Chains A and B, each alone.
Chain A
Amino acid sequence: MVDLEKLKNVAKDTVSREDVKYLIGWRQGTYGFRVSPLFMTEPEDADKLIFSPLCVNNLATYLTLAEKLPVPRGAEPDTRKVALMVKGCDSRAVVQQLIEKGIERESVLVIGCPCQGVLDLEKVEEKFPGIHSPVDVQWGDDKFIINLPDGPQEVPREELLAKKCLNCRYPNPVMSDVMLWEEVEAWGNGEYADVKELEEKDSQARWSFWQDKFESCIRCYACRNACPMCYCEDCVLDRLNPQWIYRSNNISENTVFHLARAFHLVGRCIECGECERVCPMGLPLMTLNRKLVKEVRDKYDFEPGLDPESKPFQSSYRPDDQEDFIL
C-alpha cells in the first residue's frame, strides 16, 4: 500500500544528502486530474509530493533531457546524483538507459514506487468534466476512489485504467536503490488486443488506418521528447546535413518520422506509453511500438529494460536467432 509519509521522509532525507542534486517526483497539477513533475531541492518541498493513480508521467525522461552546458572555466563539473521516483514501467526506462550507457549508474538514485496502475486522463476527464480544483485520487480494491469537490466517487478499476496498464506485467520497479513499499502482484499477460486487431486487417486497411493518423500529426515532437529512450543529443530526424526527412508536414514526411522513430525503438521500447499520452493529436503511437515489442518478444524471446547488466537487443546476436524474414 502506498505510504505517503514514508515517501515524503525518504524524499526529505534524499535531497538533504550532499551527493544529490535534486529529486524528481510528482506533484498535483494546477487543475482537475493533471499532475506535473516536481523538481525538488529543498526538504520543505516534500509536502508537495504525491503518489497516486494520477502519476502517469515517466520521469526517467528527465535524466537525459537536462541540457549539458559547458562547465565554466575553473569550475568543477557537478557530478551529484539525480534522485528519481519510478513506477515499474519507468524503472525499465532507467535500466534500458543503463544498458545502453546513456546514463551512468552513479549518476542516479532510484526510488521505487510499486504501482497498481494509473488513470487514463482522457477517460477520467470525460467522465468527470469541467473540474477546476485539483482532485485527489486513491487506489481502492479493484477501484479508484476519486475525491471530487462534492464528495468521493468510486469507479471500477477497468473503466479508467490507462491503456498501457491494462496488460502490465511489471508494476514493480525492476531496479531501485530504495523501495518505498511492498510489491504488488502483476496482473498482465502481455497480450496486445490492439495489435492483434490490426494484424487481422489486410495491408490496405492497415495503411488507411495509419494514413489517417499520420496525416493529422503536427510534428510537435512531443512523442519524441517525452520518450525516455529518445535521448540522442543530435536526433537524426532533426539533422539538416545530411537531411533524412524534410520539415514539411505531409503524409510522406510524417510517416517517415513515425516509422523511423518506431524502428529506432525496436528492442528498446519499455512500453511506458508516454509517446501516446503526450500526443496532442491523439495518435495511437503505442500500437506501432507494441507491434514491434511483440515481434521482438515472439521472435527473439527478448525484452528490454529488465537487467542493467544485459546487452542491448541489437548487439545480442545468437546463432539460433530467426532469420526467415531475410530475403
Chain B
Amino acid sequence: MNDNLNPYKPEIVTVEDTWFETQGDRAIKTLKVVFDDEEKRESWEHRPGQCAMIGVLGVGESMISISCSPTEGKFLRFSVMRAGKVTQALHELEPGDKMTVRGPYGNSFPVDDWKGKKILTIGGGIGQAPLRPIIEYVKANRGDYEDLTMIYGSRTSADLCFKKEFEAMRERDDVNIHLSIDIEEEGWPHYVGFVPSLLMEVNPSPENTIAVTCGPPVMINFVLQNLKKLNFADEQIYTTLENRMKCGFGKCGRCNVGNLYVCKDGPVFSYATLKAVPEAFA
C-alpha cells in the first residue's frame, strides 16, 4: 500500500491566521489553515458538518469540526476550545506555524436535500462551530433556500463565538438572528435565558422546516423536547454528536453509540435515527 493512502498519516498545513473568539480559561481560538501541498489544497473536499483530526506533532491529535463551509474558499477553519493537552498546544500556534490535518471524517448535513426548505439552527456555546458551515453554505446558495433562522446562546456575551460575523449578518435582511445569554448583563439588548426557552419564544413553525441543533448535552436534550412541543417531526430534526475519538474511521472503537460510530456513521444524525440508539444521549 502506498504511504499516501495511509489513513493515519496526516497532511501538513500552515496556520494562516488566528484569532480568539472568546477569552478565559476555556478560551476559544479560531485557526485558519491552508494545506502545504498544493495538490491537496485543490483536491480537498469537505461538506458542512464534517470533522477533521487536527494535531501538533509531539503533542497529539483531536477531532474538531470544520467550522467553515467549502463555499468560503480553499482553506479550513477550526474553532478550538482550550481544554486539554492538544487544544492547549493548538492555542499556542501563530500564523506561519505548522500543524497536522487528516480527514475529512464522517457524514455531513444533507444540505442539498434541504434545498427549498426553511433552515433553523439552534446552537449553544462552542456548539455553534459545526452549525456555522450550514449558515455559510445557505448564505452562499441563498436562492436555493427559504428562511434562514439562527438561534444562538451562551453563558455570557463574552462566551459567544463568531460575534463579528453575526453583526455583519444583521446587515442582510435574509437571515433572522436570535441571540441569548444565560445571565443578565448591562447593555445586553437581546434575550436573557437558556437557549431552549429562546426557542419557544421564537416559536418557529415546523412547516417545511429543518431544525439543526448542537451544544452541551443538557441543552440538546431540552431543545429536542421543545422542538417536539413545537410539533417538529423526528425526521425534521438533526443534531451532531461528539465523542472521544482517536482514529476517525471506525477502528479504534471508543466513539460508538450502540452499534454506530460517531466518526463514520455520524457525527450528523437525524433525531429519527438517534431515538433508536440506546446511548445516544448519554
Contact = CB atoms under 8 A, between A and B. Distances in A.
A3 to B, nearest CB: 45
Interface string B83-114: 01100100000000000000000000000000
A208 interface: no
A316 interface: no
Contacts of A241: 84-85, 88
Q: What 6 pairs between A and B have smallest CB-CB spacing? A: A241-B85, A240-B85, A241-B84, A240-B84, A241-B88, A243-B85
Contacts of B84: 240-241
A243 B84 CA distance: 12
Interface string A155-180: 00000000000000000000000000
Interface in A106-138: none
A240 B246 CA distance: 15
Contacts of B88: 241
Contacts of B85: 240-241, 243
B220 to A, nearest CB: 17
Looking at chain B, what size class is its interface with the partner chain? Answer: under 10
Contacts of A243: 85
A238 to B, nearest CB: 13
A262 to B, nearest CB: 27
Contacts of A240: 84-85
Nearest to A240: B85
Nearest to B60: A240
A162 B88 CA distance: 49
Interface in B47-88: 84-85, 88
B190 to A, nearest CB: 26
A243 B86 CA distance: 12
A243 B59 CA distance: 11
6 contacts: A240-B84, A240-B85, A241-B84, A241-B85, A241-B88, A243-B85
A240 B88 CA distance: 12
A20 B270 CA distance: 45
Interface in A236-251: 240-241, 243
Nearest to A243: B85
Interface in B184-208: none
A243 B88 CA distance: 14
A240 B84 CA distance: 8
A311 to B, nearest CB: 36
Nearest to A239: B85
B267 to A, nearest CB: 23
A96 B84 CA distance: 34
A240 B244 CA distance: 14
Nearest to B85: A241
B259 to A, nearest CB: 25
Nearest to A241: B85
A241 B88 CA distance: 10
A243 B89 CA distance: 14
Interface string A254-288: 00000000000000000000000000000000000
Nearest to B88: A241
A241 B84 CA distance: 7
B153 to A, nearest CB: 20
A240 B59 CA distance: 10
B25 to A, nearest CB: 14
A85 to B, nearest CB: 33
A240 B85 CA distance: 7
B130 to A, nearest CB: 25
Interface in A195-242: 240-241
B197 to A, nearest CB: 17
Interface in A52-67: none
